[in-house]
Amino acid sequence: MPVMLKRRLIALLNGQQAGLILVIVVLGLILTLFSGQVMDRISGHMQNGFFNPNNLLQIASDASFFAVMAVGVTLVIITGGIDLSVGSIYALCGVTTAIFLRSQPGLQAKDPSFIPFLASAVVCVGIGLLCGLFNGFLVAKLKVHSFIITLGTMWVFRGIAFVTSKGLSINMPQGLTGVFKATLGLEKGQYVVPSLLMVGVTILGSIYLARMVAGRHVYALGGNVEASRYAGLKTGRILIGVFALSGLLAGLSAFAGASYYGAASCADAQGYELFVIASAVVGGASLSGGKGTALGAMLGAILIVMIRAAIRTLHFDQNYEQIIIGTSVVIAVVLDQASSKLSARRLARASRTGGV
């Protein structure tokens, strides 16, 4: 094993995501043991009800739409803010893009083509970016907490999506659906493109936070606002930037989701903001700011989706789904607070020891 890869693996296992990875593995083992056997509809062979390629790829695909948005929301949470509008941005981007494509006959080709793909992606992501910039501008200039601002824009964006679409579901071109449902050489029904998008966004988010100066500024702002100002950081610009990225990634998720499912509606992603925030928090983002990673956001999204799948797989009453997920978020926050207090005590003890 190369030395660099070995070091990165050790760093990952020693990092804050190690416990989350362990929980995912343990939950996966439990589901594998108790899910029983089912018949594969394509091959006709019996296979494990949970640990099979179709189910695992389906979980990854379901998690991908949460995870892409969770990376953006994690950036906002690291600064000490919150973004409640991502679900509404998702809906607005989806219906606007679908309407745009329907108004352009040349973009309705059934075969996947680069032109409709690029045009619709630019429109969808661009609208998300504009919504994010609007959120960030209001938060930075009005000096009002992001909870209030995004609570308001959540309703505004959702309302615009309803008025624009007239409450109707709008189909996406088959070409775009074919792109996101491409098997890439795998068996029929095994769609891997959303998962690849999730991994790609996570890698880019990790590079941004860990390797770029702008990412370090995000951590600095969340760690101590006053110190950031005295250090000469443009806090308003940083806030606008993280909300812009959150909106952009919500637009990207909407593009992938609407294309994958084949239609867009103003009711899409209703309640997604809670799952996205839950994914970020379960993934290690601290609501007090200064802490969080893109990898944690992705793992948190996967865990949330696995919990939902576990309820169905183990034949529990699905009415308890929200209770279980809510409890998971509360536990994650409590563990984060306990970890922070423990770290503070260790630092204080080390400081006293060094002073002696």
In order of their start, the domains of the chain are: 63-349 (1.10.3470)
Question: Max CA-CA distance within the chain?
Answer: 77
- pLDDT (tens digit, 0 to 9) for every residue of the chain, 356 residues total? 566 656 665 555 555 677 788 888 988 999 898 887 777 766 667 888 888 888 899 999 999 999 999 999 999 999 999 999 999 999 999 999 999 888 776 655 555 566 767 888 999 999 999 999 999 999 999 999 999 999 999 999 999 999 999 989 999 888 788 889 988 878 777 889 999 999 999 999 999 999 999 999 999 999 888 888 888 899 999 999 999 999 999 999 999 999 999 999 999 999 889 889 989 988 889 888 889 999 999 999 999 999 888 888 777 777 877 888 788 778 877 776 776 677 667 767 777 775 44
Residue 288 identity (one-letter amino acid):
S
Per-residue pLDDT, 251 = 97
200 to 195, 197, 207, 232, 316: CA distances (angstroms): 9, 5, 11, 32, 34
d(C-alpha 154, C-alpha 135), whole Å: 10
The pTM of the whole model exceeds 0.85: yes
CB 272 within 8 A of CB 80: no
Convert 110-125 to b/e letters by CB count within 10 Å (16 or more is b).
Answer: eebbeebbebbbebbb
Residue 5 identity (one-letter amino acid):
L
